[in-house]
């Protein structure tokens, strides 16, 4: 299907991109890898008057580590992040999730910032960002602001980015020693969006769990943390009984949506199974990393 007519701008600096956003506000869409936006345009589900193509802004790409954080530029391609040794070593949960996004052709164009700005609740990266309390750095007319993941995802395909702001980079904390991670998901076919996904991170200190993080994809209109399960896990020693109870609590207060892919009850059952599986895998992985 052909795209509708649309004006096209291709800034080469962040400052130019912000000026264009200020000029066009809600009439503009930022074009990153185009893997979500172009299909939306083709299907007439998005009708911006102007596309602001940020592919020519070199300063938006790159991965760096400093001060206990790994910073990933918004235009860093998903496959570049997937091949980054810095991410594999320091943010293993992200490294585990990246290969599960679509297919290689999609990851070769799709960007880290694009996935997180698009904020599809079934996507892998929003769940990882929520689990790890990532920070989002945006720039607008009054400079930069840093938004924690808990406030970034506001609703279905909606973030707290204002129309005159561009997402510059996302910061993830470096995993502490003894941290094990796992990304589990159930999808109809390899490469499809997950029906339910789960990002899990467990830190073991002296045999007990000192930090637990679980964030679901596909269970709400935003990625959701399983706070009751996390609370139960901290201070306890990993065991099958503990993980069974955590899986029950993880899904206790979530009211998942019904759609073509599954009823709320089906989603809850899948989520509990993923929680057990994810916790076991993360605990095994944590023991290996101690």
Ligand X SMILES: Cc1cc2nc3c(=O)[nH]c(=O)nc-3n(C[C@H](O)[C@H](O)[C@H](O)COP(=O)(O)OP(=O)(O)OC[C@H]3O[C@@H](n4cnc5c(N)ncnc54)[C@H](O)[C@@H]3O)c2cc1C
Binding residues for ligand X, rule: CB under 6 A, are 29-37, 39, 54, 74, 101-102, 106, 109-111, 113-115, 117-118, 123-125, 161, 166-167, 193
Rg from Cα positions in the chain: 19
What's the min distance (Å) between Cβ of 159 and ligand X?
Answer: 8
Q: What share of the chain is helix, strand, coil (3-state, %, to 5)?
A: 40, 25, 35
Q: State in angstroms the smallest separation of the CB of 93 from ligand X.
A: 14
Q: How far is the CB of 212 from ligand X (least distance, A)?
A: 24
Q: How many other CB atoms are there within 10 angstroms of residue 235's CB atom?
A: 10
Least distance CB 103 / ligand X (angstroms): 7
Of 161 and 267, CB closest to ligand X: 161
Q: At closest approach, how far in Å is the CB of 144 from ligand X?
A: 13
Instruction: Report d(CA 194, CA 109) in Å as an integer.
Output: 20
**CB of 70 or CB of 125, closer to ligand X:** 125
Give the ranges where the chain is alpha helix by DSSP (H): 14-24, 37-42, 78-82, 85-90, 92-97, 104-109, 112-118, 124-131, 149-152, 227-233, 240-252, 264-288
Nearer to ligand X, 77 or 268 (CB): 77
CA distance 16 to 112: 21
Q: Which is nearer to ligand X, 31 or 271 (CB)?
A: 31
Q: Which is nearer to ligand X, 145 or 280 (CB)?
A: 145
């Amino acid at each position: 299907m052909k795209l509708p007519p649309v004006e096209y701008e291709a800034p080469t600096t962040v400052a130019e991109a912000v000026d264009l956003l200020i000029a066009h506000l809600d009439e503009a869409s930022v074009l990153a890898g185009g893997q979500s936006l172009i299909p939306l345009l083709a299907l007439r589900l998005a009708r911006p008057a102007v596309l602001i193509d940020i592919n020519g802004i070199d300063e938006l790409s790159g991965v760096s580590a400093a001060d206990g954080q790994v910073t990933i530029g918004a235009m860093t391609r998903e496959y570049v992040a997937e091949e980054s040794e810095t991410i594999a070593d320091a943010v293993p949960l992200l490294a585990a999730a990246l290969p599960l996004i679509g297919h290689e052709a999609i990851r070769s164009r799709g960007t880290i910032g694009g996935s997180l700005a698009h904020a599809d609740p079934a996507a892998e990266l929003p769940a990882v960002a929520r689990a790890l309390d990532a920070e989002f750095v945006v720039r607008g007319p009054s400079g930069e602001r840093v938004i924690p993941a808990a406030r970034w995802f506001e609703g279905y395909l909606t973030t707290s980015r204002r129309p005159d702001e561009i997402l510059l980079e996302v910061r993830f904390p470096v995993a502490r020693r003894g941290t094990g991670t796992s990304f589990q998901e159930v999808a109809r076919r390899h490469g499809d969006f997950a029906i339910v996904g789960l990002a899990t991170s467990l830190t073991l200190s002296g045999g007990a769990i000192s930090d637990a993080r679980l964030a679901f994809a596909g269970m709400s209109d935003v990625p959701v943390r399983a706070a009751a399960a996390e609370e139960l896990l901290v201070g306890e020693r990993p065991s099958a009984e503990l993980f069974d109870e955590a899986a029950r609590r993880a899904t206790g207060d979530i009211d998942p949506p019904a759609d073509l892919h599954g009823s709320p009850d089906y989603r809850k059952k899948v989520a509990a199974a993923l929680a057990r599986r994810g916790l076991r895998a993360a605990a095994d992985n944590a023991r290996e990393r101690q």
